[in-house]
Chains A and B, each alone.
Chain A
């Protein structure tokens, strides 16, 4: 089967992602920001698909569709849109932002210029056909402990939410 992971798709998807990301922070209407965010995340899922990681892509779509849904509801219920459209964005920390952006940009350029040794010489073998099975054996075999710790963290969050929401337990 001919590979679909052509540079054209990569540039297209990253372009969509960048535009979406910029829209997320520049739109004044928070609902528009949330929608731009889902576009960004879907483009990211497609990039995972291009990297022959279909399971990660599928999970990304499922989780973020639900996640953005909840974000959307928060926006509708908690934010007064009429006011926030007129409001000036208050958190304008130019200096810190500049420093962070320069540091990140510098890192990218450094890796691009002399990062040849970091990456493997040859392309890794593609394991698209049993990607899910490979992820499962990794997750429940080699990284079992980390997986359980992560789920414990989520459990703590759930219990915390219940404790905070309920008046009497």
Chain B
């Protein structure tokens, strides 16, 4: 019996499929847990980074009190949120008010079922991957409208209506940009494209080109449309009209507090990560390392496989540098020791990543995460730089700029692809 279970667990180890596609329940569960934990850690890290980076952009210090450089601030916040009183307005629609945050969180987390962190590092690979991601993430707007309506209050309702109008209008441009990328996957010998997330990255690998550079500037334009639409889709600055604090207090989640509010927060950040991973998968080559063809011999493979370890060692070095700069007052002793310990942990992870067997297995994940992290930094940067759009400007941008542009890019991509097929490969 136990032997059977062990064999079942081991049977996946030599497979080159995702656990879902291989039908291995155990490893699928392991991957689900890993993705869930990784996402939660990423959201916590994002919370700290956003406050810190925004603060530095505005020449402030940001959180400094809880832990060295405010590193433990997200944990303190989480404890505060969990201990806060959970208020439900007396006139609210109980059931819907209760369900709404869960709908948003479910929609935001479910999409990660198909996100390809590597050729085998995904929970499963679906024939309809990208369609599934777009569909499920568009369910989250339902949760937002439910929250806004059920609160039975003016600001949340206006915020929810704005959010729904915004999402419905930007989804069109977004869909057109996605279609033009999917069209590029069909430029192979047998002329069939794919919607599967892993298939899309493999198509870029086979065509020796990231789709952002394909048919320059068409791929770049499609990417640009998506990059604008995805900010609007996740209700982030400069398109954060649904939660414009100067007009609507906090928008659709004004009446929420404590744990439920933190669910909205969690969903917002994991939705940001989800749309960034769509952009990375469709245009930036997913898990592929930079220059996979130009610098393609085994020496360069070796060099690029050192990057994950070097990154972690770099973080560790920052920790040690700041440990040395810590004030020498006895009150700071615990913080100093803690920061040094954190640095040691990061350094050890970095050293483990230098083992060739490990680095070969995880470098796909590293490159994917690095690209997504770039997008997350852009989100913070936008928030620090751009003023908020007015609602009519937002609609004008969506319907009069992005939509025609998306249509044009789609038609041109199709024509160029057809021409290429007719002229160069008759």
Contact = CB atoms under 8 A, between A and B. Distances in A.
Given A35-B96, A61-B135, A76-B157, A69 B128 contact: no
Given A65-B142, A66-B168, A58 B96 contact: no
Given A129-B127, A132-B127, A69 B142 contact: yes
A31 B139 contact: no
B131 interface: yes
B342 interface: no
Contacts of A65: 135, 138-139, 141-142
Interface of B: 21-23, 93, 95-96, 126-128, 131-132, 134-136, 138-139, 141-142, 145-146, 149, 157, 161, 164, 168, 171, 192-195
A76 B127 contact: no
B93 A66 contact: no
B101 to A, nearest CB: 15
A17 interface: no
Given A54-B126, A58-B132, 7 more contacts: A31-B93, A35-B96, A58-B131, A65-B135, A65-B139, A65-B141, A132-B128
A70 B193 CA distance: 32
B333 to A, nearest CB: 54
Interface in A128-168: 128-133
Contacts of A129: 127
A73 B164 contact: yes
Contact-residue bracket for chain A:
20 to 34
A62 B146 CA distance: 18
Given A31-B96, A58-B132, A132-B128, A66 B149 contact: no
Interface string A49-75: 000001101110110011011101100
A2 interface: yes
Interface in A21-66: 29, 31-32, 35, 38, 54-55, 57-59, 61-62, 65-66
Contact of A72 (B93, B128, B145): B145
Contacts of B136: 61
A125 to B, nearest CB: 15
Contacts of A113: none
B128 A76 contact: no
Contacts of B141: 65, 69
A3 to B, nearest CB: 10
A76 B168 CA distance: 16
A38 B145 CA distance: 13
B271 to A, nearest CB: 14
Contacts of A68: 142
A78 interface: no
A35 B194 CA distance: 33
A68 B145 CA distance: 11
Contacts of B139: 61, 65
B171 A66 contact: yes
Contacts of B126: 54
B149 A58 contact: no
Contact of B146 (A1, A35, A55): A35
Given A55-B128, A69-B168, A76 B149 contact: yes
B131 A62 contact: yes
Instruction: Give the 10 A-B residue pairs with the shortest CB-CB distance, closest first.
Output: A61-B135, A58-B131, A1-B23, A62-B135, A58-B128, A54-B128, A65-B138, A65-B139, A133-B192, A54-B127
A157 to B, nearest CB: 16
B305 to A, nearest CB: 32
A61 B140 CA distance: 12
B96 A76 contact: no
Contacts of B168: 66, 69-70
